[in-house]
Amino acid sequence: MARRYLRPTAFVDTPVGHDGQVARLAGGLCFHAGYELIEVDDDGRRTAVRLVPVAEADALPDEVQPIRARLAAARPPLALGDRTIRFDQPRAMAILNATPDSFSDGGSFGGDAEAAAAAGVAAASAGAAIVDVGGESTRPGADPVWEGDELARVVPVVERLARAGVAVSVDTRKAAVMEAALAAGAGIVNDVSALRYDPRAVALVARAACPVIVMHAGDGRDLHARTLGPDPLLAVYDWLEARIAALEAAGVPRARLMIDPGIGFGKTLAGNLALVNGLALLHGLGCPIVLGASRKRMIGALSNEAPVDHRLGGSLALALKGAEQGVQLLRVHDVRETVQALHVWRGLRDQALTPVPA
C-alpha cells in the first residue's frame, strides 16, 4: 500500500492579500502556498510527487489531512521555571561544551566551571534563548566518557547558569547525568541517542515531565553508523515518527518532544543537503524542530575544506535556510552573529507582513 507524505512548499513572504491561498506553518512566521504530496511504494521508492495548492488542500487524501493539521498547528511554548520560550519565531540555542575534545571548542574552559558558566551567561546576554551544556564529545571517533567525569563537567556549570536565570538544557545520553542536571536547574534534556543509549532514560524523563530533544542517529551507541537508504529525508521522517510513537507509549507525550534530524550523524554530504532542503516536511510530526548544523563538516566539504573556525558564513547560511522553513530552534556556536542574522530576517518578515497603503 502506498504511503503518502506532505511537505509545505511554495513559501511566500506574507499572507496579506492572499486569503485562502496560503497557510501558516506551525503557528510561526512562515507561510506557504502549496504542498508537495509524495507517494512511495512498499519498498520506500517515490512513485509520485505532485504539487497541490493550499486553496485545493481540502481535496487531499484523507490520510494526509491529520498531517496537514499538524503542519499548521502552533507549537505550545516551553515553560521553564520563570522563563517561557515561545516557538512563534526562530530562536538561537547556544552550544556550551564542557569537554576537552569536542570538534569545535573542546577544551576552551580547561575544566573551569566558572569560566564555562560565564560563557553561557554571555551567550544568553547575546540573545540565546537556551544554553545547551554538554560534557561528552559526539564527534566521530570520540572516546566514551565515564559517567562520573561527565557529571563533574556538567553539573557545576548547570548550577551556576540556573542561578543566573539562564534557561538550560543538558546534552547527554546518560540517565544519571540527566537526573543530576535536572536537579541542578536544567529544564530540558537533549539526547543525541533519542533516549536509546541508556535503558533508564525513558522512565526518567517520563517521571521528570521535562521537555526532551530526540535526535536521529544511526545507532544509540554508534551515532555515526550509516543506516539511511537512498531517500534520507523520508527515512529520517519515518524514524522520528516511530520514535515519537514509542516514547508516547512509554509515557512521554508528543507535547514535550522536540525533534532534531541529526545533521552530520551517519549521513553523507548528499544526505545532509537533502535533509536541510526538505526540513519543512518534519513539521508534519507536530513537534518543534531543532537544527544543529553549526560549523559541521558539510560546510568544510562545500568550501575547500575550510577548518572549523572558518565556517561562520556556512553556519549562518544553514541557520537562515532553517529559519525560512520554520525551524524553531537553531543550535549554534556563534550566538551573537546568528541572533543578528535572525534579527535581520525578522525585520524583513515584519516589513512583508505590513500591508502596503492603498
**How confident is the model over 214-261, as pLDDT tens digits?**
999 976 567 867 778 889 999 999 999 999 999 999 999 999 999 999
Q: Which residues fall within 8 angstroms of residue 279, CB to CB, at 6 or more apart?
A: 261, 289, 291, 321, 322, 325, 326, 327
Annotation marks residue 163 as catalytic:
no
Instruction: Say what the pLDDT of residue 43 is.
Output: 82
Q: What's the first-to-final CA gap in the chain, in angstroms?
A: 52
C-alpha cell, 75: 507549537
Annotation marks residue 243 as catalytic:
no
At 74 the three-state DSSP class reads: coil
For 16, phi then psi, to 5°, come to: -60, 125
C-alpha cell, 291: 537544527
Least confident of 14-23, 143-152, 213-222, 229-238: 213-222
CA distance 281 to 331: 19
Assess whether pLDDT exceeds 70 at residue 141: no
Cβ–Cβ contacts within 10 Å for residue 301, how many?
Answer: 15
Name the band, by pLDDT with cuts 50, 70 and 90, for residue 84: very high
The residue whose grid cell reads 507509549 is 249
CA distance 68 to 60: 9
CA distance 285 to 216: 14
Instruction: Kindly name the residue from 296, 297, 311, 349 that is annotated as catalytic.
Output: 296
C-alpha cell, 188: 530540558
Q: Which residues fall within 8 angstroms of residue 263, CB to CB, at 6 or more apart?
A: 272, 275, 276, 291, 292, 293, 296, 298, 318
pTM, two decimals, is 0.95
Instruction: Say what the pLDDT of residue 74 is.
Output: 98
Burial profile 141-173: b = 16 or more Cβ within 10 angstroms, e = fewer: ebeebebeebbebbbbbbbbbbebebbbbbbbb
Average pLDDT on 11-36 reads 96
Strand 212-215, strand 257-260: pairing: parallel
Instruction: Say what the pLDDT of residue 107 is.
Output: 53
CA distance 235 to 239: 6
CB 327 within 8 A of CB 294: no
Instruction: Kindly name the residue from 173, 295, 331, 349 that is annotated as catalytic.
Output: 331
C-alpha cell, 164: 543566573
